[in-house]
Amino acid sequence: MRGLSWLLGFVATCQLACWAQAADMGSLDSTEPLRVGLLRDGNFPFSQPAQTSVPANHAGLEGFEVDLMDALCEAAEINCTAVPLATLDERISGVANGTLDFTISALSYTPGREAVVHFIRPFYYESGVALFGSDQAGLDLFGPDAPTQQALEAASGWGGLFTGSFLAGQTLCAVEGYYALPFILKDIPNLNVRVLPTLQEASDTVRGGGCAAFMYDSVTPVSEVALQVLNAPPAYESPYGVGISLEDKGSELEQRLVYAMTGLMNQGNSSRILELEQQWLVPNGIGPSSALQDVVTAISTFGSQPSGPGESQVPQSYSLFGTRQTGR
């Protein structure tokens, strides 16, 4: 009896698990493309409306994360189509409620976010919080007599905001839904923050004198906000990750994306992700990211510098099935 009930239990479990697996496989292998959330606004040069004609699955977008989508989906052998997003909030709500299969949208990792969406590893970029100001107005943040650069680099600069030396009465602008805002408000409880719905409105408010400076991603090109980056090291550096639904954690979709992402990083300095960084980010004044270089080096070499992709980490005499070609 005991044996039979165990068997029946196994069959029942398998029916559920096997059905779930079959459904999962069906969606990955179907010709219906997976829906990938990409920001349309305020995310240049990661994703923005295209200047030239682009493939239909880009939905009129181009940029680093759009090409990253294609590279990942090709390696993962899935069909993907971009879904342009108008607001930051839609990245997480869309993945959480299933209208998006995943998102590649400058989504910075935070523990709070990982309780709502799952970030696949490895992460693919990083950003910190920088301060953008219109020259003198921004400098006044650090006191009326602050010497131009010295004050911002000193402990009383941007870092000083977190140790309590922030000047009373100053207001910082931020964009609604910005990931670092909860940490900053927690660390500087008396900070006056004015939250605006869009990047454009936040930078306009700084220019109009409504805020002393604007806090936003250090990877934002100054041309986008038409403000200067205040010369202080970014705070709260945090990685960008591909976000999938919590239900897809550990699924075949995640396994394929992890495999694909690692594949974009395992060819040393010839890795596809570094080519995309050179193509989209570096010409716009972003990067090259030393964190990305470190990850690529680590994945490609396991601790030693390769003499060429794939050459140093495996002994030349190593042979799989006896016929494996070594090197390239």
Ligand X SMILES: *[C@@H]1O[C@H](CO)[C@@H](O)[C@H](O)[C@H]1NC(C)=O
| Region of 7-15, 88-96, 196-204, 320-328 interacting with ligand X (CB under 6 A) | 88-96
Which one, 35 or 44, has the nearer CB to ligand X?
35
Looking from the CA of 303 toward its CB, the CA atoms found within 13 Å total 1
Where would I find the beta strands (DSSP E) of the chain? 34-39, 48-49, 61-62, 80-85, 102-103, 117-119, 125-133, 171-175, 192-196, 213-217, 228-229, 235-240, 243-245
**Shortest CB 294 distance to ligand X, Å:** 10
| Region of 16-24, 94-102, 191-199, 207-215 interacting with ligand X (CB under 6 A) | 94-102
Phi-psi region of 255 (alpha: psi -120 to 50; beta: other; left: phi over 0): alpha
| Region of 6-14, 72-80, 154-162, 315-323 interacting with ligand X (CB under 6 A) | 72-80
∠ CA(84), CA(89), CA(90), 5° rounding?
35
Find the binding residues for ligand X in span 256-285 (CB under 6 A): 268-269
The yes or no reply on residue 97 touching ligand X (CB under 6 A) is yes
Find the binding residues for ligand X in span 186-245 (CB under 6 A): none
Which one, 177 or 306, has the nearer CB to ligand X?
306
Angstrom distance (rounded) from CA 155 to CA 130: 15
Token pair of 207 as six digits: 């220019």
Find the binding residues for ligand X in span 24-43 (CB under 6 A): 29, 31
**Shortest CB 31 distance to ligand X, Å:** 4
Per CB under 6 A, the list member of 49, 57, 70, 93 interacting with ligand X is 93
The yes or no reply on residue 81 touching ligand X (CB under 6 A) is no
**Shortest CB 44 distance to ligand X, Å:** 22
Find the binding residues for ligand X in span 292-311 (CB under 6 A): 293, 305-306
In sequence order, which residues have a C-beta less than 8 Å from that of residue 27 and are 6 or more positions away?
34
Burial 152-179 (b: 16+ CB within 10 A, else e): bebebbbebbbeeebeeebebbbbeebb
Contacts with ligand X, residue ranges (CB under 6 A):
29, 31, 77-79, 90, 93-94, 97, 99, 268-269, 293, 305-306
